[in-house]
Chain A
Amino acid sequence: MKNEELNEKLNELAKEETPEYWDKIESKLEDQPVSEETVIAFPSKIKFPLIKVASIAASFAIVAGAFFLTQGTPLDKKAALSNGVASESTTIGSSTLDKKIAEGSLMLPRMAKYKELPIAEIETLFNLKLDGKMTIPSGMKLEKALVYFTTDEKETPYLAQLTYTGANKKILNISISIKPEMVADDPKIIAQTEVAPVDPNDSVTSSDGSVTIPSDKVDPSAPTSGSEPGSAGSAGSAGSSEPGVAPDEPTGTGTISNDYVSDEYKKTIEGISVTFYTASSKADDYTSVYVNFEKADLLYDVSSENIEKTEIENLVVSFLK
């Protein structure tokens, strides 16, 4: 018997054995509100639990950022490559996508609303001293933070996104969402990336599961190795434009080992940026070119009250131009 036949059989049996319960649902629907957005306004209406969650999320992202920015190894490209997590690759995405992501508009496209706050307000709100907790590579500074709140429904993730910009106008986004029930039920906090919608024109998934950006989606004008100092190149295009940086070959493809990539992750990859290249004029500051998918205690080494109890499940860090 083939698996498909088995699945069909199981479906038939399940349908037969499942009681009808629509009437009960319908009767209960009378008391249910229609689905609607519940966006918590900032900062006056925010309640304590949300502040707590958001605070954790923000500090979480900050420390993650600090970690990635200051400790390129062992989570760097080399490590990622050797683990098979990432492969040598170049760039993915389109400038439009990247821009939307940078704006936060692509994260939760239908219901997302976010509040963009000046850094001083963030610090006050979260009682954090952001700059004091981070070591930011030279030329970079925390410019703004986007904090998303949707509802306090259990299955709704919270998302904190911090954006950093450097003198070279590059932006580092760190997006981490936190499932609030994890906060409630477990001292561990599970973070996961948001999944951006997939534009099928932007990428294809080959039969072996690798994600490939068609060459015609790669900006042919993108600078390649040894391009002019300071030239930024197009967002989402191949190669590094920074001086002193040895960029990946601008082949226009990005592949990730299928073993490590779920379909959802692929969407993330396709929608955001699989790989990125150094944004610093000092290449050694952070030369990591990778996306990490491993559920691992990646950040345990980072000194932080929150991080000690925190487990990053998935994290996407992307440099955008």
Chain B
Amino acid sequence: MLDSEMEQRIIEISEGDKTALEKLYQAYRHVVFSLARSILSSESTAEDVAQEVFLKIWASAHTYRIGANPKAWIMGITRNAAIDAMRKTKYEMSTDEVFETDFRSQPSLEETVVNAMTLSEALHTLASDAREIVILRSLAGLTVSEVSKLTQTPLNTVYWKYHRAIKSLKLLIGKGVL
């Protein structure tokens, strides 16, 4: 969905058009969910957050400023909601903990060549900040500078982490893991 279309949907949502919200959901549900999932260790919590994001969009579409970046706006809401949820549930999502919790039993890269990984699993082989950057950049389609601003990470760091992360992902895909 183009930014202009997305903006139009948001305007329609602000006017109470539920169909517009559903269209936005269809176009962006996976991006919202993936970003939430990248921050939260629990898939069910991520889904709750994703639902909450669209409810927030519904409730606050009027606060969207025309001409602002609609994707960045939605990603900002998602990120805030996920971080709030993380605080509430006391989930500390350092990379190490991710491995220790959800993916401790994950096989090594070599071992998984024959067993395909889910995207979520593949992304969780990345550090948490890199994971978030990949989703914002590759799924949400934000520019590096937008990712930098949203995540409050220096531009060069975003560049570096993004390129390193996609290199890893390409490796997984090249080996047929993804």
Contacts and interface: CB of A to CB of B under 8 A. Distances in A.
Interface of A: 1, 3, 6-7, 9-11, 13-22, 24-26, 28-29, 32-37, 108-111, 150-151, 153-156, 181, 194-198, 259, 261-265, 267, 271, 295
Given A7-B138, A29-B18, A22 B29 contact: yes
B149 interface: yes
28 contacts: A1-B170, A3-B166, A6-B169, A6-B173, A7-B138, A7-B139, A10-B138, A14-B33, A17-B120, A22-B22, A22-B25, A25-B55, A29-B18, A29-B55, A34-B16, A35-B16, A35-B58, A36-B62, A110-B64, A110-B66, A111-B63, A155-B73, A156-B63, A262-B143, A262-B149, A263-B69, A264-B146, A295-B152
A317 B63 CA distance: 23
A225 to B, nearest CB: 34
Contacts of A26: 18, 22
Nearest to B138: A7
Contact of A25 (B11, B25, B34, B174): B25
A110 B62 contact: yes
Contacts of A111: 62-63
Nearest to A22: B25
B60 A35 contact: yes
Contact of B80 (A19, A22, A37, A154): A154
Contact of B119 (A17, A181, A195, A259): A17
Contacts of B11: 110
A18 to B, nearest CB: 4
Question: Which 3 pairs, one residue from A and one from B, show the smallest C-beta to C-beta distance?
Answer: A197-B67, A262-B145, A13-B119
A155 B77 contact: yes
B31 interface: yes
A33 B145 contact: no
A24 B51 contact: yes
Given A9-B178, A21-B50, A264-B145, 12 more contacts: A7-B139, A10-B134, A21-B29, A22-B26, A25-B55, A32-B55, A35-B15, A35-B16, A109-B65, A155-B63, A263-B145, A264-B68
B59 to A, nearest CB: 6
Interface in B100-145: 118-120, 134, 138-139, 141, 143, 145
B101 to A, nearest CB: 19
B155 A259 contact: yes
Contact of B146 (A17, A33, A263): A263
Contacts of A28: 51, 55
B119 A10 contact: yes
A16 B66 CA distance: 32
B31 A271 contact: no
A25 B25 CA distance: 10
A10 B166 CA distance: 10
Interface string B4-47: 00000001011110100110011001110110000000000001
Chain A CB within 10 A, most for which of B15, B30, B55, B72: B30
A21 B13 CA distance: 18
A174 B12 CA distance: 32
Nearest to B31: A14
Chain B CB within 10 A, most for which of A35, A153, A262: A35
Nearest to A260: B155
Contacts of B18: 26, 29
A8 B62 CA distance: 31
B65 A110 contact: yes
A18 B155 contact: no
A155 B51 contact: no
A32 B63 contact: no
Nearest to A20: B29
